[in-house]
Amino acid sequence: MNPPLPVLGWLRRYDRSWLRGDVVAGITLAAYLLPAGLGDASLANLPPQAGLYACLFGGLVFWLFCSSRHTSITVTSAISLLVGASFALAGMEGAAIARAANPHGRTLRVQGAEARVPWHLVPGPRGNARSADGVHVVLGRVQRGNEGGHEVTLGGRNWSRIVIANPADNPTVVLTAADGSAYLAVEAWCYDADCTDAKRDALAEQVATEARGSR
């Protein structure tokens, strides 16, 4: 009668003299898998710890179903790093071609407001946009402006600037400027670990400079 789990068959025949070599092999494999797992997580736009969890749980659980002690199970693949790098290069080349064809950028729109934005900022629905370097921007029109913010002049308007924490607890820069009976508003925060506050603030101010009311 076959055992319910394959590991119950070969584990009984395990020779303790193999233990030292197996430990060395495990450490060597982990030295490769952990950095590769971090790389895979970044390609999938996931937090780095997601790659670590996937590697660890794959090794801790799947070995029970392996028919041999020599089997190595992991969620990562070296080829994925090469594919990711290729796609990134293709995206950079595509953006360069697009800028050459139309150097004036794109338009981010929401009801009551619009702004010309650079090519690396990709507009989405309801005034949302994301950049390739990890910044999420939201353009809007609101009824109340910031109170007690730092005053900056951008695009011929006086903007009030504050930094708050959004619902995801990400530090968010908020710019508001009077426009008729309402206020133009630009919010920006980092969604990627490689993003910095300087990149976030620079892109928010760039969008605010080009922002204007619309019908």
Summarize pLDDT for 105-138 with one digit per residue, the tens.
Answer: 578 888 889 998 887 788 888 889 888 788 999 9
With a CB cutoff of 8 Å and minimum separation 6, the contacts of 195 are 133, 134, 135
Specify the higher pLDDT residue, 29 or 87: 29
Which residue from 152, 127, 148 is spatially nearest to 202, judged by alpha carbons? 152
- Give the pLDDT score at 37: 76
Residues of the chain with CATH 2.60.120.1690: 105-213
Q: Is 105-213 CATH 3.40.50.300?
A: no
Which residue from 111, 162, 107, 160 is spatially nearest to 140, judged by alpha carbons? 111
Specify the higher pLDDT residue, 175 or 73: 175
**Long-range contacts, 44-48 (Cβ 8 Å, 24+):** 45/192, 47/193, 48/193
Summarize pLDDT for 153-190 with one digit per residue, the tens.
Answer: 998 899 999 998 877 778 999 999 999 889 999 999 99
User: Looking at the predicted structure, is the pLDDT value of residue 53 above 90?
Assistant: no
Query: pTM score, two decimals?
Result: 0.52
Round to whole Å and give the CA distance between 93 and 61: 42
